[in-house]
Amino acid sequence: MKRFASFRNGFVHSAVQKRTTRDFSSEPAGPVVKTKIPGPKSSALKNDLNRIQNSAGVNYFVDMEKSIGNYVADADGNYLLDAYMMIASMPLGYNHPAFQELLKKPEMMVPDFKDVLHLTRISVNKTRDHGKFSREDLESTMNNQPPGSPNLSMLSFQGGFHGRTLGCLSTTHSKPIHKLDIPAFDWPSAPFPCYKYPLKDHVSENTKEDEKCLAKVEELIHKWNNEKKQPVAGIIVEPIQAEGGDHHASTSFFKKLRALAKKNNCAMIVDEVQTGCGSTGRMWAHEYWELDDPPEIVTFSKKMLLGGYFYRDDMRVDEPFRIFNTWMGDPVKLSMLEIVVDVIKRERLLSRVNESGTKLLSGLEHLQTKYPSLIGNARAQGTFAAIDAASVESRAKLIDRALNKGLQLGVCGERAIRFRPALIFEQKHADVALNIIEDSLRGL
């Protein structure tokens, strides 16, 4: 779900020098909905944007200056509880005081974007198509295997999402639209566990599901190594398949997958772009696996505010400029990340995530018991939570009702509704979200 900052005079307005530090005491007690969403101002801006690019994916326009804490303000003055946070990309919500203080520093000051963009406008082509969304953090991990470009392959999982550049797209299997008109490598993809819920009632079936998927992984490695002559250099996996439908897998599954990778001389790449930086209740979701032998590579982005990857010493690249891009070492992003890590520690946000996540999951489980024909399969790790709707159509209605009652949610997979709140999401916010969801379910 794409969203854009509200525009003034056609350009994003920067008010860094004028802004005073705000604390979260000014956060609304609850959603404030004055208009249908999108409201008249957002609709007008959407029509304006549509003159230069397709705006069908835009839901509403955001007033970044008025947004605060867990609440996003739109161009029409509505305040929505944001349990999606730009697809899990805002660790501390909107206008966190620590970020506000950072932006007051002289070295962080920037000219008003309105004036800068006016000076740099190109008059020849007003339409810009095919803007590139950088996923170099993941792409470069796949290039980080000597000797460089032999006929190797990467094993991924059906339902996985690892980016939309060429190599990453060949390991992405969540939506067909992602691959439209783009060639792909002939690389293997294995089934990812699809569990029955509640987990405690389906231990036997889910264990068999793990074993079936692991057997297929080994079968594919053998086929690509010996028949296709494209040896599998690495296995890439998400701790929780996010875009594919919030699919979870057991600790046992990941431990056995790690053993399979090691047995077959495959690097294990854990994609923590969406799960990393605390949303599961630990800094890194793969910490829950308690592996004896850590993965070779762990990628990160989103809540970390910059993209990159951790790697073991034996994966270090010796040649200079082999892994390189324009924006390496961005000092502003590094300063922001320092703030995020400091606030996580100082405010004990991982504990808060676990407490809020427990509240959220308990509430979702209660609602699915109360409305079994409409929702089910509640699941969560921390506040990284989801629930399945009965159908695509009922999901769309539920999401729209919740939005117009003041709750921003996300979707993924075929029927899943996902929660991706900021780390500052508290139990009181979970209560607000659950009340809106129940209100939206009535009469659906």
According to DSSP, the β-strands at 247-248 and 267-271 are: unpaired
Rounded CA separation 296/38 (Å): 45
- Please name the helix (run of DSSP H) or strand (run of DSSP E) that holds residue 258, with its range, or none: helix 251-263
Judged by DSSP in three states, 4 sits in strand
- List, in sequence order, every residue forming a beta bridge with 376; answer none if it has no partner: 388
Rounded CA separation 381/334 (Å): 27
Question: Residues 6 or more apart from 370 whose CB is under 8 A from it?
Answer: 438
Rounded CA separation 162/144 (Å): 16
Alpha helix (H) residue ranges in 144-184: 166-169
Rounded CA separation 266/245 (Å): 26
216 is catalytic: no
Please identify which of the residues 63, 76, 137, 271 carries the catalytic annotation. Answer: 271
Please identify which of the residues 302, 383, 384, 425 carries the catalytic annotation. Answer: 302
Rounded CA separation 168/136 (Å): 9
Left (φ > 0), alpha (ψ -120 to 50) or beta: where does 44 sit?
alpha
Answer for the pair 240, 160: CB distance below 8 angstroms, yes or no: no
Rounded CA separation 163/142 (Å): 12
Please identify which of the residues 4, 61, 99, 161 carries the catalytic annotation. Answer: 161
Rounded CA separation 105/121 (Å): 29
Rounded CA separation 147/22 (Å): 52
299 is catalytic: no
48 is catalytic: no
302 is catalytic: yes
Angle at the Cα of 166 (from 164 to 170), degrees rounded to 5? 80
- Please name the helix (run of DSSP H) or strand (run of DSSP E) that holds residue 377, with its range, or none: strand 375-381
* Residues labelled as active-site residues: 161, 271, 302, 326
